[in-house]
Amino acid sequence: MRVVATTVVRASVFGRQETGHVYDVDFDAGTVVDRVPVPAPARPASDDNPRGGIRGGRGIAFTSDGVVLATYDTLVRYDDAWSIADRLESPLFAGLHEIEWDGNRLWATATAIDALVCVDGRSAAVAWDPHGAAAASLGLPPRDPAVLERADGVVPRLDHCHLNGVTRRGDEIVLHLGLVRRRRSARDRFARRLGAAGESLVVRLNGSPVPDVLVRLRGGDLPTHNGQFVASGRIAVNDSATNTLRLFAADTGSELRAIPMPGTWLRGLEPIGGGYALVGTAPASIHLVNLETGECERTVQLADDPNEAVHGLAAWDPASS
C-alpha cells in the first residue's frame, strides 16, 4: 500500500529550515520511498504560532492528474517524479487544511476564512459558508456573502469554527468544524464561569440551510480534527487535545470507544477498509489502528524530530485500482 503524508515542523523558521515535507511511503515495506520539502506559501507572513501557523504541508490527495498538496495558501500538483507540475492560487485559499478529490473536482477547507471551497479546473468558489443560512443553528455570527467575492481579492480573515476537514461519502459531504467558538456574555467571560466555551462538530450537508450534526464534542479550547465516517457506519475524530482517537455512533452521536495514541500532535486520518485506519502523530509517524480492537498494530516512523508532525494522509492500493 502506497501512502503519502504531509508534515509540519512546528516552531520552524522560514528561511532557516524546511517547515515541512511530503513523504512517499511504502507502508507494507515500512520504508520511505521519497521525501520532498513543502514549498513556501505564496504569501508568506510573520506568524508567531508555535504550532502550525503558515508552516508546512496540509491536506493531500491522489487525483487523476497526480498528487495534489495543500500548503497554507496554494494547491501544488506533483508529477510522478515529485517535480512540481502546477500551482494554483486563489484569494479563497487561506489557511487551507484538508482536501478531498471526488473524481472530478477538489474540495478544500479554508480554515482562516471559515469556508468550504470547491475547485473545478482552475476555478475556485465557495461551496458552503457556515456563517450563511446555517449560522444561527451552529451558534455562529452571520456574514455578508459579498465579503467572499470582493473585487480587490482580499477576503477578510475569520476563524470562528476552524473548518478543517472535508470528506465525501457517496454523494454526501461531511465536514469537521474543529472548534466552534460560541459567544458568551461579558460577565461570563470575565468570571470564566462556564469554563471552556468551544465545541467541535462533525456535520453532514443535506441540501437544506441547516446541516445534520452527527457528532458534538463539548467543552474544548483546542481544535479537534479529521472527523469522518469509518467502517460500520461509525465516525472517527482525532481529539488532538488529549491525543485520543474517538469513535462515535453516527445515528446517535454517542461515543463508542476512546483509543489513546502514541506520540503527540494527533493529526491525519485515512480509513483503509477492513476495520482499519491510518493515523498520524509526532514525531512524524503513521500508525495502523484496528478500529475493532483499539490496538495500534503497526507504526512506520518517518522522522526523529519531535517537532515534525504528520498533518495529511492519503492511501492508494494498486490492487484495488
List pLDDT tens digits, range 118-140.
999 999 999 999 999 999 999 99
On the question of pLDDT at 84 being above 50, the answer is: yes
What secondary structure letter does DSSP report for 291? Answer: T
CATH number of residue 152's parent domain? 2.130.10.10
Mean pLDDT of the chain: 91
Greater pLDDT, 55 or 67: 67
Query: Could you give phi then psi for residue 16, rounded to 5 degrees?
Result: -110, -25
Give mean pLDDT, residues 59-65.
97
24 residue type, one letter: D
Give mean pLDDT, residues 43-68.
79
Domain count, the chain: 1
pLDDT score recorded for residue 196: 55
Give the closest residue to 89 by CA, choosing from 128, 43, 50, 155.
Answer: 43
Which percentage of the chain shows pLDDT scores above 90? 77
Return the minimum-mean-pLDDT range out of 111-120, 144-153, 236-245: 144-153
What secondary structure letter does DSSP report for 39? Answer: P
pLDDT score recorded for residue 124: 96
Give the chain's count of helices (H) and strands (E): 2, 24
pLDDT score recorded for residue 156: 85
On the question of pLDDT at 191 being above 50, the answer is: no
What is the C-alpha radius of gyration for the chain, rounded to an integer number of angstroms? 19
Q: How many CA atoms lie within 13 A of 163 on its CB side?
A: 33
Global confidence as pTM: 0.92
d(CA 5, CA 24): 7
Give, in order, the Cα–Cα distances in Å from 134 to each of 65, 209, 212, 251, 288: 34, 5, 10, 21, 36
Q: In DSSP terms, which residues pair with 107 in a beta bridge? A: 100, 118
d(CA 117, CA 232): 29
Omega of the bond prior to 130 within 30 degrees of 0, cis? no
Greater pLDDT, 115 or 220: 115
Widest CA span of the chain, in angstroms?
Answer: 60
pLDDT score recorded for residue 188: 45
Greater pLDDT, 315 or 183: 315
pLDDT score recorded for residue 65: 95
Give mean pLDDT, residues 2-27.
91
Domain extent for 87: 2-320
d(CA 199, CA 221): 8
